A and B are shown apart, each in its own frame.
Chain A
Amino acid sequence: MKNNSTWENFLKPVVVLVVICIVASAALAGTNQLTAPIIKAQEEAAANAAYLEVLPEADGFEEITDFQSSNVTKALKATNDAGWVIQSYGKGFGGDVPVVVAFDSEGTILKVKFMENSETAGFGQKLADPADADGQKLAESFVGKSGTLEAGDVDIISGVTVSSKAALAAVNSAVNCFNEVALGQAAVVEEEQLTPDQALESMELTEIEIPEGLTGAWETANGTTVLRVDSKGYEYETAPMDVLVEFDADGNILNIWVGTDGQTAGIGDQAGSAEFLSQFKGVLGEAGLDGVDTIAGATQSTTGVKKGVRKCIKAFVAMYPDCAAATAVAPEGGDAESEASSEAAVETVTLSDEDCKAVLPDATTFEAVESATSGVQAAVKADTGWVIQASAKGFAGQVPVIVGLNADGAIVGVSFPENNETAGYGAQLYEEGNEKAAALAASLVGKSGEVAIGDVDAISGATISSKAVVEAVNTALSCYNEVALGQAPAAEGEGEGTDMSAMSAEEARAALAPGATLTQITAPEGLTDAWQGDDGSYVLYAEDMGWEYAGKPMTIAVGFDPNGAITGVWVDASSQTPGIGDQAAGADYLGQYTGITDEAGLDGVDTIAGATQSTRGVKKAVRKCIQAYAAGLAS
């Protein structure tokens, strides 16, 4: 009886259930075997439908798998030679933006289709919506074009820049792949950026004592030191950036890796891009950081990386006080490695007759002369005019330009010697047969006196390098004034302020009153803080809201030398709109204040169009400081 009960009450139910489950699973597995291949075939047919949509003339596709071009998922050749279909993707706002591009056999784009993506609804999603006019317009603007395309070649959807640019990058990746598989050109492979964790894994490390403020410190088997720090970037970031720097024994930066997970996709994560980080390589000491440019539009994130590297350098110097980095100043020319980040005197060169003839064709005699104009590498007097090689700081280093001037000082010819700028960008200048470089050079011909960036055909996408060219040309023109007209040579640094944007508040204060010991004093009315130097200098602080929707005001610090002239202005514009309002903290803008002695001097200060509220706010604050200084502190 009992047995029965246990069987009835307990075992039987369980057994029955288990048997049912087994039978059920078997039935399901069987059906799955039957239907799975059919389902798969359907999914492929659906995918193929997309390919046929862009290249209807094809009667079938043959997949090519042997390619190395980055960011390409599939490369298909039409079996009847109607063309090629390549599926690629670009990094967008929320993830990948996939596209399918149809090429004819020569590489002209026949059709572009944007596939489903996870971009923002109403923004990047417009791309994939066949009913959306903007998305269609962008897709159509690719048709008929060939080769690598720029943002200006297609109809970027206004307000959807990041996703549109991602689509553009995707199409360019498809173009690269086409060039590789159809035309047999070399593949363009994007270097995979390692994250700090990945980089650490690849090294043989021994842990050493972690200096204060850092998150990790190691020595490698090669004798290099690796330091890690967390660095705050974008004010609304979800996590700080992870900065990892490798130093050699002297303190030169060998390598840098940055993790940007908490920054804004498509914007702040440029702080982890190869282009930005390459500037840090070879930097020696804090002074070397002066040559590193932040990226406009990603200012907070890139400045954050710079601050993190500065912390690492300081820690390194503290660990090894005798290293070269401790005593390094902005290096002079001649040191090949540190020249990449130098700002001061450039190395002189000798111009060959050939070089001169290239820019001044009808000259026959050449005689080298001396010039004291800073930035000039060589000056040659010719029978029909002058040939001057000058250089200015570009993205990754000096950008040299050889300018041929006629006897009246008008530009006759321009050539670009080799530089260290980024391949595909500023490096195009010295690329043989490069159309853009030729256009830039041609646009300079005929100019004289002083050239503005708006007067010439800058290379789109290589703005910094182009601006460097213009600066170098202006240097050459100033040199002409010196050697041909006998005017006084222009010295460097006039009107240019040191970039204090990467400095902390205390560092900036010290920079504004160099050499003085500062003590805090009662702030005059209207100001938020005031410091007095023992030499009679002052640093006064004021606040201004700047942009009307900024969450909090900007802090502005104005330094006055003992004579009452402004030594410089430091601004904390972190509350302003990144990429727009934070130009109010930029060296270009703030440099205008240096040397001003009274309110009248402010009339000459220009605000920045597009960042009006922020820059005007700084001006108002400086005015307050000047007024306060004049009212009570001027001795």
Chain B
Amino acid sequence: MAARLAAIFFTMILVDNYVLVKFLGICPFLGVSKKLNSAFGMSCAVIFVMTLATAVTWPIQNFLLTPVDAEGNLKWDLGYLQTIVFILVIAVLVQLVEIIMKKNMPPLHKALGVYLPLITTNCAVLGVTVLNIDNGYNFVESIVCALGAGFGFMLAMVIFSGVRKRLEEAQPPKCFEGLPITLVAASATALSFGGFGGLIENIFGAI
């Protein structure tokens, strides 16, 4: 059991990295990774929102939208409402969290709060909630998966901000300046993560 959770966690960080392998959360990834501070702050916010969103949407899916009775048969099927329900729940949740944070934890709000609206309409958060359902994880596994996805995001962001710092001193051809060279750098980073395939299975055995 613990091995399976550890395997899910590390798979999300390395093998199935949300940014560099699954292409979720590219906008903040490319946008916020210039400075290490903002990169770190953004990823903390992402981890937080991902986990919270999973914690809320998983029960909604399994008890409200597609609940199963004791024998595994669907009691009713509202699965087609998944997209709309999830995104609204996430939007409202993040909004609520931001308001609470602003009122009660100003220093935290200063550090993280600014990024919260950015994450609301972000592929990464909706992606992780939908993928948890698709993969058929139970509640604990889903939370672990979300945590892993978040930490994977942080890993990619932090590594990439380091890469971008180096890029600042580089002198690429004129037409590559700015975004294109950033994308090529991201390509190289993604390439390095590609080497993790098969690593987790062989370390943790069965998933």
Contact = CB atoms under 8 A, between A and B. Distances in A.
Contact of A25 (B1, B81, B207): B81
Contacts of A24: 84
A407 B145 CA distance: 77
B80 A93 contact: no
B206 A120 contact: yes
Interface in A115-131: 120-123
Given A93-B206, A120-B205, A31 B80 contact: yes
Contacts of B205: 120
B207 A121 contact: yes
Contacts of A32: 80
B65 to A, nearest CB: 12
Contacts of A93: 206
Contacts of A31: 80
A24 B205 CA distance: 46
A123 B1 CA distance: 19
Nearest to A123: B206
Contacts of B206: 93-94, 120-121, 123
A19 to B, nearest CB: 15
Nearest to A29: B80
A151 interface: no
Interface in B80-99: 80-81, 84
B159 to A, nearest CB: 27
A28 interface: yes
B177 interface: no
A121 B203 CA distance: 13
Interface string A98-142: 000000000000000000000011110000000000000000000
Interface string B55-71: 00000000000000000
B71 to A, nearest CB: 14
A408 B84 CA distance: 90
Contact of A28 (B1, B81, B207): B81
Nearest to B201: A121
A120 B201 CA distance: 9
A25 B80 CA distance: 10
Contacts of B80: 28-29, 31-32
A238 B201 contact: no
Nearest to B200: A121
A25 B81 CA distance: 8
Nearest to B80: A32
A37 to B, nearest CB: 13
A25 to B, nearest CB: 7
B145 to A, nearest CB: 16
Nearest to A121: B201
Interface string A362-377: 0000000000000000
Interface residues of B, number: 8
A28 B201 contact: no
A29 B81 CA distance: 8
Interface string A206-239: 0000000000000000000000000000000010
B38 to A, nearest CB: 32
A238 B4 CA distance: 13
A517 B207 CA distance: 53
A93 B4 CA distance: 14
Nearest to A32: B80
A24 B80 CA distance: 12
Contacts of A238: 1
A260 to B, nearest CB: 15
B26 to A, nearest CB: 28
A270 to B, nearest CB: 19
Contacts of B84: 24, 28
Query: Which among A29, A93, A121, A123 has the greatest number of chain B C-beta atoms within 10 A?
Result: A121
Most chain A C-beta atoms within 10 Å of own C-beta, residue among B81, B84, B206, B207: B206
A23 to B, nearest CB: 12
A122 B1 CA distance: 19
Interface string B183-206: 000000000000000000100011
Interface in A73-108: 93-94
Contacts of B1: 238
Contacts of A123: 206
Interface in A24-74: 24-25, 28-29, 31-32
Interface string B1-36: 100000000000000000000000000000000000
A121 B205 CA distance: 9
A25 B82 CA distance: 11
Contacts of A122: 201
Nearest to A124: B206
A566 to B, nearest CB: 42
B10 to A, nearest CB: 15
A29 B76 CA distance: 13
Nearest to A31: B80
A238 B1 CA distance: 8
A497 B81 CA distance: 69
A4 to B, nearest CB: 25
A122 B202 CA distance: 10
Interface string A614-630: 00000000000000000
A462 to B, nearest CB: 31
A32 B81 CA distance: 10
A504 B203 CA distance: 36
Nearest to A17: B88
Contacts of B81: 25, 28
A231 to B, nearest CB: 20
A607 B28 CA distance: 65
A293 B207 CA distance: 33
B63 to A, nearest CB: 18
B199 to A, nearest CB: 13
A120 B80 CA distance: 32
A569 to B, nearest CB: 35
A94 B207 CA distance: 9
A301 B12 CA distance: 34
Nearest to B2: A238
A29 B207 CA distance: 37
B197 to A, nearest CB: 12
Interface in A570-614: none
Contacts of B201: 121-122
A122 B80 CA distance: 34
A122 B199 CA distance: 13
B88 to A, nearest CB: 8
Contacts of A120: 205-207
A120 B4 CA distance: 11
A24 B87 CA distance: 14
B31 to A, nearest CB: 29
A29 B206 CA distance: 41
B82 to A, nearest CB: 10
A549 to B, nearest CB: 16
A635 to B, nearest CB: 54
Given A25-B81, A28-B80, A120-B206, 16 more contacts: A24-B84, A28-B81, A28-B84, A29-B80, A31-B80, A32-B80, A93-B206, A94-B206, A120-B205, A120-B207, A121-B201, A121-B206, A121-B207, A122-B201, A123-B206, A238-B1
Closest 3 CB pairs of A and B: A120-B206, A32-B80, A238-B1
Interface of B: 1, 80-81, 84, 201, 205-207
19 contacts: A24-B84, A25-B81, A28-B80, A28-B81, A28-B84, A29-B80, A31-B80, A32-B80, A93-B206, A94-B206, A120-B205, A120-B206, A120-B207, A121-B201, A121-B206, A121-B207, A122-B201, A123-B206, A238-B1
